[in-house]
Amino acid sequence: MKILVTGGAGFIGSHLVDKLIDHGDQVVVIDNLSTGRKENLNPKATFYGFDICSPDIVGIFQKEKPEIVFHLAAQISVRFSVEDPANDAKTNIIGSINVLENAKKYGIKKFIFASTGGVMYGDADIIPTPETYVARPLCPYGICKLSVEHYLDYYEKVFGLRYAALRFGNVYGPRQNEKGEAGVVAIFCGKMIAGLECLINGDGKQTRDYVYVKDIVAAAIAAMSDAVAGVYNIGTGKETDVNAIFAKLKKITGSRIEKIHGPVKKGEHRRGCLNSAKAAKDFGWWPKYDLDAGLKETAGWFVAKL
């Protein structure tokens, strides 16, 4: 099929593009390379260096006529969203509406959205947290993702645009940017290999649901099925605190670096862990990578790269 991936030069997007091309699909990528990297681009993909907010993306839809859209392009920094919520909303809401309008206009068969499970539920009383739990994100980034989910519901009900919104846990793996607003796994890998101190916000006992990028890609591809519709958590169902991630990576890399603790960051919740039973039931997805195996593979990539 002809498939469009926004953010296809980014961390998750580039892995998805590779797998789609391996499957024999024709892939079109839209990415402004603000966080994506040219070296991530699959040479077999057709690349357009556009911002999703640009009105000119209409020409891409018109020319390429994709059948399915994976919408991964986003402003990805929780901290930036707290500091500048207006610009966060410009990309993550207005940009998403721009992509949706073109999807509607050109008759896209399925729209698959990279939402967030990591910050969607705030500090939930139920752990692991199911999709039925009320969404109460504590940061503008999460609020924007939830808003787009509501727009997706609107576009389906009013215009018949089928969609799946995948609420990803805390994704980690090769190609994640260790210097930007990355996940803690990438940051720690980069710091340890470079012999630099690792800063932990707060006491390090805050938990997250760490899910390996290859498992995320498998879920995204499964969501192409006509039977998959609506909102799904994509996580491991296991919570791990930051101190444990530090200890595991220190052992894997052989680092002698000690951790240091800084102040708690605004907009960060205390606990996070996703119940993904709905995805398992509806389309047979369950993570194949345990945390230790994923961390070992990720650290190995960073060692080879750095």
What pLDDT is attached to residue 20? 98
Domain presence at residue 179 = no
Q: Is this structure's pTM higher than 0.75? A: yes
The pLDDT of residue 181 is above 70: no
CA 223 distance to own-chain centroid? 15
Mean pLDDT over the full length of the chain = 95
**Are 77 and 196 contained in the same domain?**
no
Q: For 162-191, give one letter per residue: b (16+ CB within 10 A) or e.
A: bbbbbbbbbbbbbbbbbeeebbbbbbbbbb
Q: Which domain holds residue 8?
A: 2-172+211-238+275-288
Q: Domain tally for the chain?
A: 2
**Are 84 and 132 contained in the same domain?**
yes
What pLDDT is attached to residue 208? 96
* The one-letter amino acid at 87: N
* Interval 240-271: pLDDT, tens: 999 999 999 999 999 999 899 999 887 678 99
* Interval 50-90: pLDDT, tens: 999 999 999 999 999 999 999 999 998 888 898 999 999 99
| Residue 180 confidence class, pLDDT cut points 50, 70, 90 | low
Do you find a cis peptide bond into 174, omega within 30 degrees of 0?
no
The catalytic residues are: 141
Domain with residue 245: its CATH number is 3.90.25.10
Q: For 68-87, give one letter per residue: b (16+ CB within 10 A) or e.
A: bbbbbbbbbbbebbbeebee
* Interval 87-145: pLDDT, tens: 999 999 999 999 999 999 999 999 999 999 989 999 999 999 999 999 999 899 999 99
